[in-house]
Structure 1
Amino acid sequence: MTAEVQGAEVGRDQSNAVGDRWWEDAVATCSTLIRMDTQIGGPGERAAAEWVATFLSDAGVGSELVESEPGRSTLVSRVPGQDPTLDPLLVQMHLDVVPAQPHEWSVHPLSGEVRDGYLWGRGAVDMKNMVASVLTVVQERVRGGRLPRRPLVLAFFADEENAGVLGAEWAVQHRPDLFEGCRTAIGEGGGYSVPIRPGERIYPIHTAEKGWAALELTARAAPAHASRLYDDNPVRVLGEAIGGLTHDRFAVHLTPQVEQLLRTACELGGVAFDPDHPEAALSLLGTEAGNAASGLRHTAHATRLSAGYQSNVIPGSATAELDCRYLPGRWDEFRAELDAALGDGVEVRELARTAGLAPTADGPDPALFSAASQALQSEDATARVSSFMLSGGTDATHLQRLGIECFGFNPLLLPEDLDFWSLFHGIDERIPVEALHFSTRVLDRFLDLY
């Protein structure tokens, strides 16, 4: 199912160009997007995609809306560049968000409220902030006749928060023509500031991300009366197996992406990096240490448990679901470590799996890193960029199947005491207003340089 939304000729109405502080419009745009209920399973994805299509059409950009299922809407737009011989840059984003419980929040998660210098609401961080910045930049450029250096393909995906099955994965399988010519993409997951010490900041750009798998563990035995001595109780067997999944059961694996981040942090922090003990450098990263630590190991966490039907009956089975994040390209290694940690008392069944984002053999595109560095330094003279590995997952795992090299670059200058990573899928999700302004200006500069 597709729909065309046509825009007028590029640059048709320069008299409508926004004012000198045009980047401030990103806050109102982001607030509007937050107020649209695009929680997983809700009705809002198509409404949000149609709103974005209208926004772009008003600026002079046409779009195509496609659906994997009714209401599961993905929007793709193309923006001309100054040099049409250059490969278009794919800017990949998503409009869906994870659910939020209003009673847990300080403000309503769909309010889009500005308070205490922050814009609050579900999606403020993940990732309606980047959607708003990109829309604001495109609007200002197209209306003013100031095209980006290269053509752009803007993708606003559905279903990213549910592994992208009905969004990016579907589009890659059924509509690869939407991304014709794209060899490089930027999206969420990197580009935000990590303070090392006063006056020293790293902006990590993710060039790899862990794969994801959902596994089911089951322990079985004959049901029995709960008064018995019964060492084979499936609940106990399963609990002991899950208890083996502590971090120290998974070995440290220093990948080139995490090593570069830690080496850069050590250089700026004035200490030596020890590759034999990379965890010693994590403290230099402050609130980002936990995120970086996840990139040093495979991880597996129990997220669902099920057993029993009567309090005085030992059940015949007990089941747990694991959320697993493994280093890309190392599934067999992960399974060997996992099986060793679990022991022999449980059955393991794979429910679903993605490959993650594997780094390119030749290393990341130096032209993109150079453009990102220059764009950041135009707003923050101290900015240093570095590769790193994202411990979460994005739609990049699907886009790489088309040979597209994907980077996490959503530039944000953040307060030093803000635990930014904890806000992803967290309570009281919010983005600093000034960080949103910064992001919009940096992305605008980046489109002149890359």
Structure 2
Amino acid sequence: MSESSAARTDATVSGEDEVVDLCRDLIRIDTSNYGDHSGPGERAAAEYVAEKLAEVGVEPHIYESHPGRASTVARIEGADPSRPPLLIHGHLDVVPANAQDWTLPPFSGEISEGCVWGRGAVDMKDMDAMTLAVVRDRLRSGRKPPRDIVLAFLADEEAGGIFGARHLVDNHPDLFEGVTEAIGEVGGFSFQVREDLRLYLIETAEKGMHWMRLTVEGTAGHGSMTNTDNAITELTEAVARLGRHEWPVRITKTVRSFLDELSDALGTTLDPEDMDATLAKLGGIARMIGTTLRNSAAPTMLSAGYKVNVIPGEATAHVDGRFLPGFEEEFLADVDRIIGPRVRREDAHGDKALETTFDGALVDAMQSALVAEDPIARAVPYMLSGGTDAKSFSDLGIRCFGFAPLKLPADLDFAGMFHGIDERVPVDGLQFGTRVLDRFLDAC
């Protein structure tokens, strides 16, 4: 913990003052998630969050789904308890980082070039820090939110949320009683299209996932012998077909809305049938948007054999499959056709696609809070190509949005920050997001 952020409970300290230190502290807690039962640092991060909440009079509760896999949940009393509570959720775990690949140590939380650097800076300890900063500021100054707020700082999102959000939804649904709406990660970030207009992309949809295990059984034998039933050959040919497949464009409601907003902002018509030209106008977010136009299946792991002169009897591959809302059946049928009958497909992990409409009082509150801090802001809906803990919370009937507001430099490769090297978040972006979140709570 940095000296500057230790026990800063003075009422004169604002959320904007301490958000950077909170983010740095969280980054310094290595919460790498390796996708197994281990969760180094998640318990420490949950305890850090609980301590920061307790300092301002909140009664946090830590829920451990497995030794070390811990989440912190708290409820903040609002001015009108008859209104449905709002859930603000964020995950504390991060994907691993190889320090040798980074310019600065990934768990140092160093400040350089106007940014806080480190694993989790944008995914998503920035939002965790902003949420803590806003809540601590409001409670120090005695400003209740208009309605109850449920805070959930979660384990295991980076491996599907089994030990985090899914555990809480399945085993402690009472924690979210009455909640109808939620905000979480990967939304509310800026994309400047003109000098007089910045779009802020609000996540209203997520692709579904099918993490698949592909298996081929062949005839084992000596590596020197001709073998026309080689499992490796059959599998790699199938995986190559899948990895190179050109998936057809499918325009969902959310993507159609985004393209309409972008067309208006650019003053030109964007043709869904010529997406290369459309994506060329999107700069750094083209990768993020481009993957929401199609289903996808990315081969990620291969395994076979135990000795160079032995042809194995079995070969396996893992594939990260993602499907658009409403296109799951088409996706699976296409996968089966592409890989062929010799390949056995099994689900390693799956979750549904999500999509909600871009309307209502909560959306109005986002727009008004953004414009108050950035007069050229316009909130627009978009689809996330990955998944978040919203998938678990939606099972409770909660309408989920991605809203972690950041005003970003036009030249920052924001999409490349997610799971990439040299992950970093601008200091002034953190402070901007803290101000916007505070206004948002007043308006929602």
Residue 155 of structure 1: SS of its match in structure 2? strand
Q: Compared with structure 1, are the counterparts of its residues 22 and 249 closer, same or farther at alpha carbon in structure 2 (3 Å cutoff)? A: closer
Cα RMSD of the aligned pairs, angstroms, is 1.7
Distance 2:109 2:80 in 1: 38
- Pick aligned residue for 1:439 from 433, 436, 443: 433
Deviations 1:375-424 (A, max 9, x none): 11111111111111111111000000100000000000111111111111
Deviations 1:244-302 (A, max 9, x none): 12465322110011111122112111111334444532222211111111111111111
Query: How far does residue 229 in structure 1 lie from its aligned partner after superposition?
Result: 4.2
Q: What TM-score, normalized by structure 2, do the two folds share? A: 0.93
Residue 245 of structure 1: SS of its match in structure 2? helix
Query: How far does residue 64 in structure 1 lie from its aligned partner after superposition?
Result: 1.5
Query: How far does residue 231 in structure 1 lie from its aligned partner after superposition?
Result: 4.1
Residues 396-405 or 300-309, more deviating: 300-309
Q: 1:324 and 2:321 equivalent?
A: yes
**Counterpart in 2 of 1:256?**
253
Distance 2:372 2:161 in 1: 34
- Pick aligned residue for 2:338 from 332, 338, 341: 341
Query: How far does residue 77 in structure 1 lie from its aligned partner after superposition?
Result: 0.8
- Pick aligned residue for 2:21 from 22, 28, 38: 28
Contact 1:254 1:278 in 2 (8 A): no
Counting only pairs closer than 5 Å after superposition, residues 236-385 of structure 1 correspond to structure 2 as 236-246=233-243, 248-356=245-353, 358-360=354-356, 363-385=357-379
Counting only pairs closer than 5 Å after superposition, residues 97-246 of structure 1 correspond to structure 2 as 97-246=94-243
**Counterpart in 2 of 1:387?**
381
Q: Compared with structure 1, are the counterparts of its residues 248 and 305 closer, same or farther at alpha carbon in structure 2 (3 Å cutoff)? A: closer
Residue 183 of structure 2: SS of its match in structure 1? strand
Distance 2:99 2:12 in 1: 35
Residues 208-217 or 170-179, more deviating: 208-217
Query: How far does residue 82 in structure 1 lie from its aligned partner after superposition?
Result: 2.1
Residue 164 of structure 1: SS of its match in structure 2? coil
Contact 2:89 2:183 in 1 (8 A): yes
Distance 1:319 1:104 in 2: 29
Gaps of 5+ in 2: 1-8
Distance 2:15 2:397 in 1: 35
**Counterpart in 1 of 2:5?**
none
Query: How far does residue 429 in structure 1 lie from its aligned partner after superposition?
Result: 0.9
Q: What TM-score, normalized by structure 1, do the two folds share? A: 0.92
Residues 255-264 or 218-227, more deviating: 218-227
Distance 2:39 2:392 in 1: 23
Residues 429-438 or 378-387, more deviating: 378-387
Q: Tell me the amino acid that sits aligned with residue 405 of structure 2.
A: P
Distance 1:285 1:411 in 2: 19
Residue 447 of structure 1: SS of its match in structure 2? helix
Contact 1:247 1:299 in 2 (8 A): no
Distance 1:278 1:256 in 2: 16
Distance 2:111 2:135 in 1: 24
**Counterpart in 2 of 1:406?**
400
**Counterpart in 2 of 1:82?**
79
Contact 1:262 1:282 in 2 (8 A): no
Q: 1:424 and 2:439 equivalent?
A: no
**Counterpart in 2 of 1:67?**
64
Distance 2:310 2:62 in 1: 54
Distance 2:313 2:389 in 1: 39
Query: How far does residue 139 in structure 1 lie from its aligned partner after superposition?
Result: 0.9
Q: Tell me the amino acid that sits aligned with residue 376 of structure 1.
A: L
Residue 94 of structure 2: SS of its match in structure 1? coil
Distance 1:415 1:211 in 2: 30
Deviations 1:289-341 (A, max 9, x none): 11111111111111110112222333222210111111134321110111222
Distance 1:364 1:173 in 2: 28
Distance 2:272 2:419 in 1: 32
Distance 1:250 1:198 in 2: 35
Q: Tell me the amino acid that sits aligned with residue 150 of structure 2.
A: V
Contact 1:110 1:122 in 2 (8 A): yes
Distance 2:306 2:150 in 1: 53
Query: How far does residue 35 in structure 1 lie from its aligned partner after superposition?
Result: 0.8
Contact 2:39 2:68 in 1 (8 A): no
Residue 90 of structure 2: SS of its match in structure 1? strand
Q: Tell me the amino acid that sits aligned with residue 253 of structure 2.
A: P
Distance 1:344 1:200 in 2: 52
Distance 1:235 1:407 in 2: 43
Contact 2:252 2:325 in 1 (8 A): no
Distance 1:96 1:178 in 2: 21
Number of residue-to-residue matches in the alignment: 432
Distance 2:12 2:97 in 1: 34
